[in-house]
Structure 1
Amino acid sequence: MSSRVPTFTDDFVNGDVSFWHRSLGPAHAGPVLGGDRRADVVIVGAGYTGLWTAYYLKQARPSLDVVVLEKEFAGFGASGRNGGWLTGDLAGSHARYAKTHGVAATRALQREMYASIDEVIAVCEKEGIDADIVKGGVLNVARGSAQAARLRASVAEAARWDVEVRLMSPQERDARLRVAGAVQASWSPHCARIHPAKLVRGLTRAVRELGVEIFEHTPVDEIAPHRAVTPYGTVSADYVIRATEGFTSTIKGLRRQWLPMNSSMIVTEPLPDSFWEQVGWQGAELLGDLAHYYMYAQRTADGRIAFGGRGRPYLYGSRVDARGHTHDWTVEALWGLLVDFFPAAASSRIAHAWSGVLGVPRDWCSTAHVDQATGIGWAGGYTGHGVTTTNLAGRTLRDLILGEPTHLTELPWVGRDVRPWEPEPLRWLGVHSMYRLYRVADARERSMSRTSALARLADLITGH
C-alpha cells in the first residue's frame, strides 16, 4: 500500500466535534433560554469573541448583566476546531489598513496583535486555564524556488509594518524542524501553540464564575436594535453583540456579510520517539508554508501532528455544514501533504478528521464596531487568524460598549466599512475559481522560479 493512502485508527472519527473536544470528553452544556428577559449586554455566540468580550466587560464593570446565547455549546464552532495557532499575524492586509488609516496606525495594530498573545497567556495563568500553551514561535518553509522568492519578498516587506520575522539559515532551520524539500524558511517568535478546546472551556468556566449567564442550544434567529430573538424568548439589551464569525451567514439579513470558508484538519495517532528524533520539533513551533493552497500544523502536547489546509472551500448560497464532516478526497490530500512534509510519518495512522468554517469579509480584513444608535456591535472576519484576534476584539468591544475612547478604539480595524459579497452564483464561481487556480499554480510552480500568473489572477478575482 502506498504511503500516500491513509490508514485509520480503530476509533477513527470523521466530523462531529473536533479532535480537540473529543480528547476532553463531552462538554457539559448550560441551560436553554427560558423566556424573555432583559440584560445590559447580550452576546450572540459563545466562541472566543463572545467569551472574551463577556470576560473583559465583567472585569471592567462587575455590575453589568451580561448574557451569552449559543446555538450549540460553547466553543462548538471555529473556537473549538482551529489549528491551535495563537499567532501575531494580522487578520487582514497591512496595505489595506494603511490605505485608509496610514502606516503608523497599521503598525500600532500589528503591535497590539503581538501584545494579545501575551495577554491570552497571562489570562490563562491568572484563571488557571491549562491550554497546553507553549510560545515556541512559528516557522514558515518554502519548498521550491517560487515559494522561496515569495518568502524573501515577504520578509523584506515585513519591516515596513513592524513585523518581526527573519530568514533562517539551513542549519538553524534543521536544528528546529526538518521538513522534506524545504529550501528556505523564516522565523518569528510571535506565535504559541494552544489546545483550542482547553482554552475555550477554561474561558467558559472563568466567564461563568464572573456571573455571566451562558444559554446553550439557544439559536438566535434575528438580531435587531436592542434585541436578540430566539425560539425560546427574546433578550432585550442596551447592546447586542454579534460574535458569530463563520456562522454569520445563517442570521437573517446577513447572508452576504462574511463568506463562510471551510478549512479542514487531520490529526495523527501519537508518534513514536524515533519519529521526533528524525524531524526535531522539540520547541512546539507552529509550522506553515508558502504555497497558495497553504497548510498549517502543530505538534500536540501528546505527541501527534495536527495538520490542516483547505478542503471543499465553500458551499453554494453560503450554507454551513455544522457537523464538520471532511470529504474523503480532502482527508487523502491532507495526508498526502503531511507525508510529503514528513516521510517518516508514513507508517502512522489518522485518528480524527474534521472541518470548520471561518468568516471572510469581501476585502479580507477583519472588523470591530459598535453602533451606539442601534446598540448593535460585532467583531469578526478573522480570515483564519482568529485565536489571537478574538482577544483583541474582546477588549476593543469592551471599550466601545463602555464608551471609553482608548488606544484600542483608534485602531484601523474599528468601524471599517466593507461591502458585501456578490450574489450567487457569482461568489460560488469566484471562490471555487480562486482555489482551483491556486491548486494549478502550486503544481506549476514546482518547476518555476517565480509566482505563477494564475495565482495573481486568483487574487484579482476575489480581492485576496
Structure 2
Amino acid sequence: MRLIASAAEMRAIPRSKEFRNGAVSFWYRELGLPKRRAALPGDADYDVCIVGAGYTGLWTAYYLKKEQPDLRIAILEREFAGFGASGRNGGWLSAEFAGSRERYAKEHGKGAVIALQRAMMATVDEVITVAKDEGIDADIVKGGMRIVATNHAQKARLLQEIAYLQEWGYWPEDYYLLEPDYEPMLRVDGAVAEAFSPHAARIHPAKLVRGLAAVVENLGVDIFEGTAVTELRPRKDAQRPAAVAEQGTVRADYVIRATEGFTAEIAGYRRQWLPMNSSMIVTEPLSPEVWKRIGWEGHEVLGDAAHAYIYAQRTADGRIAIGGRGVPYRFGSGHDTNGATQPQAIAELWRALARLFPAASEAPVVHAWSGVLGVPRDWCPSVYLDRTSGLGWAGGYVGSGVATSNLAGRTLRDLVLERNTDLTRLPWVGHRARDWEPEPLRWIGTHLVYGLYRGADRREASRTLETSTLAELATKLAGR
C-alpha cells in the first residue's frame, strides 16, 4: 500500500451522502453510543479487579460471577464497555488461533496444541450458547468460514495450510477444499480455489459486547467507565495488588489486565504488545439484484489467502463489511482518534471490495473506521496469572480475539479460583514473549514487514505460481 492516497483515488470511491469516518465504528452508529456508566468514585476494595471492559474482561467477570456469585468484582474502563476492538472488529467468531503451533509444542508437546485447537472449536459454540441463554441478540449466524484464493500461488498456499492444520487439530471435516459447485454459492471474482470450515459464525460485535456488559452488570459486577488506569502495582508484603487511576486506587486479591491493543498506555507495558491497526469499510445495503449475482446466502465469514489479507461479512441488513490491516502501525504505539482511519486504508479496502465483488463496486461506502489489536513479539497469545504478585492478563490475540477472549475468560476463572483443569493445562497458559524493540526500530520493522507482504501479493498476482520470497523474508523478519 502506498503511504498516500491521491485525491483522484478518493474521488473514485463511491461514498454515501451520510459517509462517516470514525465515530468509533459503524456497529455503534447502528446502535448509538451507549450512555456512560459512572466513574470510580474513589479508593475501593474488591476480590478481583479487571482492567478493560472488552470481551476479555467481560467474559472473565461473567464466568467468575456465575461460578462464585459472592465474589466482589470490579471492571475499570477508560472509555465505555466495548470501546476498543470488541466493538470495532469484523464480526468473525471463529476457531482460528494466531499463535505458532511449533512454538507452543516445543514447551508442551503436540498433543497439548491439538487440545488447544479443539478447545477453540468448542468455544465458537460456547459463545453462541451463552448469547442464546442470556438473551443477547448479536445477529449470530453460524454459516462457517470461507477462505478464497484468487491466484495460483494463493491456491498452493491454501492447500498447504489445509494439510498443515489437519496435522494440528483440524480433522478433514473441520477444514477442507470446496468443490466448484458447492452450495450455497458465493461468487468471488477470480477465485481459483476455496476452503471451508464449519467452525465460524457471523456476529454483530457491538451487540455482543453491549449485551454481555449488561448481563455482567446484572450479575452484580461493578463496571466503572471513564476510569483510566495508569499503573498496576503487584502485591508487596501486606499490601494487596492494585490498579491505580486518577479517581482512586482499587485493591484486590487479583488484578487482571484485559487491555489488548491499549496495553501500551499503562506504565511499564509500552513494549509488551504492539498495537496493530486494522481498518474497515461498510457499504450501504445492496439491492436484491446485486445479492442474486453475488450469492452469499449462507452468511459465511469470508477471507482470502493473500499475505495482506482481507476479512469480510454479509451483515444482517444486507451490507458488505470488509476489513484489512490498512496502515499497520503508528509511531510510538499510537492509535486512532475515536476510530478514524486514513484515506489510503479506505482506498485500499474499496479496491479489494471492487476486485472481489465487481457487482458491488458501485455500492456507496457509508462508513469507515479503525481500531487496534494486541500483537506480542512472538505473535503468540497468552493467559497468565502470577499468584505471587497477584497480577494476571490475557490477550495478544493478533486479530483472532472474538472466540479466543471467551476461552481466555474461562481459563482465567479457573486460574483465579485455583483450579487445575483442562483449560489451565492448555499450552498458552503461562506463555511469555520478550518485549518489542524500542522506537524507531519497531516502526521501521513493522512497516518493512507489511511492505514486503504487499509486494509479495503484487508479485503473486502477476501469475507467479509459488509464494513469493518477499513473503518468506517478511515472515522471518517478523519472528512469527
- TM range, normalised to the smaller chain? over 0.9
Note if 1:50 corresponds to 2:57: yes
Q: Does the aligned pair in 2 maintain the 1:155–1:165 contact within 8 Å?
A: yes
Equivalent in the alignment of 1:166: 176
CA contact (8 A) 1:5 1:336 kept: no
The alpha-carbon deviation at position 320 of structure 1 amounts to 2.1
**Structure 1 residues 162-311: aligned runs within 5 Å:** 162-163=169-170, 164-172=174-182, 175-225=184-234, 226-311=241-326
Contact kept in structure 2, 1:3 and 1:347, CA below 8 Å? no
- Taking a change above 3 Å as real, the CA distance of residues 321 and 363 of structure 1, as seen in their structure-2 partners, is same
User: Following TM superposition, by how much is the alpha carbon of 1:310 offset from its aligned partner in structure 2, in angstroms?
Assistant: 1.2
The answer to whether residue 465 in structure 2 is matched with residue 449 in structure 1 is yes
Q: CA deviation at 1:176?
A: 2.3
Flag as ranges the 4+ runs of structure 1 deviating above 4 A: 1-4
C-alpha displacement of 1:322 = 4.2
Q: Which amino acid aligns with 1:396?
A: T
> 1:403 — aligned with what?
418
User: In the TM superposition, what is the alpha-carbon distance from 1:381 to its structure 2 partner?
Assistant: 0.1
The alpha carbon displacement at 1:4 in A equals 9.0
Structure 1 residue 459 corresponds to structure 2 residue 454 = no
Gaps of at least 5 residues in structure 2 are: 1-7, 235-240
Among 409, 421, 446, the residue aligned to 2:436: 421
Which amino acid is 2:29 matched to? R
Kept in 1, the 8 Å contact 2:91–2:203? The answer is yes
Going from structure 1 to structure 2, the CA distance change for 1:229 and 1:454 (only over 3 Å counts) comes to same
**Matching residue's letter, 1:168:** L
Which residue identity lines up with residue 17 of structure 2 in the other structure?
A: D
Provide the C-alpha distance between the structure 1 equivalents of 2:160 and 2:197, rounded to a whole number of angstroms: 15
Task: Check whether the contact 1:4–1:339 (CA below 8 A) recurs between aligned residues.
Answer: no
Structure 1 gap ranges (5+): none
For residues 383-417 of structure 1, the C-alpha deviation after alignment (integer angstroms, 9 at most, x for no partner) is 00000000000000000001011100000000002
Deviation at 1:3, TM superposition (A): 11
Alpha-carbon offset, residue 162 of structure 1: 1.7
State whether structure 2 residue 358 is matched by structure 1 residue 358: no
| Paired position in structure 2 for 1:381 | 396
Match of 1:106 among 102, 113, 117: 113
> Corresponding residue for 2:334?
319
Q: Cα deviations across residues 1-42 of structure 1 (Å, max 9, x unaligned)?
A: 999921211211101210011100121211011110100000
SS at match of 1:23: helix
Residue aligned with 1:89, SS: coil
By how many angstroms is 1:95 displaced?
2.0
Instruction: State the distance in 1 between where 2:96 and 2:444 align.
Output: 28
Counterpart code for 1:402: L
Paired residue for 2:86, among 79, 85, 88? 79
Displacement of 1:158? 1.7
CA distance in 2, matches of 1:449, 1:317: 38
CA distance in structure 1 between the aligned counterparts of 2:87 and 2:33, rounded to whole angstroms: 12
3-state SS, counterpart of residue 290 of structure 2? helix
Percent identity (aligned): 59
Q: Deviations over 1:263-290 (max 9, x none)?
A: 0000000000011100110011010001
Aligned with 1:247: secondary structure?
helix
C-alpha distance in structure 2 between counterparts of 1:4 and 1:113, whole Å: 43
Q: 2:67 maps to which residue?
A: 60
**Per-residue deviation, 1:131:** 0.3
Change in CA separation of 1:46 and 1:287 when aligned onto 2, cut-off 3 Å: same
CA RMSD of aligned residues (A): 1.2
Query: Residue 124 of structure 2 contacts residue 201 of structure 2 at CA under 8 Å; is this kept in 1?
Result: yes
The SS at the match of 2:272 is coil
SS in structure 1 of the partner of residue 229 of structure 2: coil
Q: Which moved more, 1:67-76 or 1:91-100?
A: 91-100
Q: Deviations over 1:203-235 (max 9, x none)?
A: 000000000000001000101111000000000
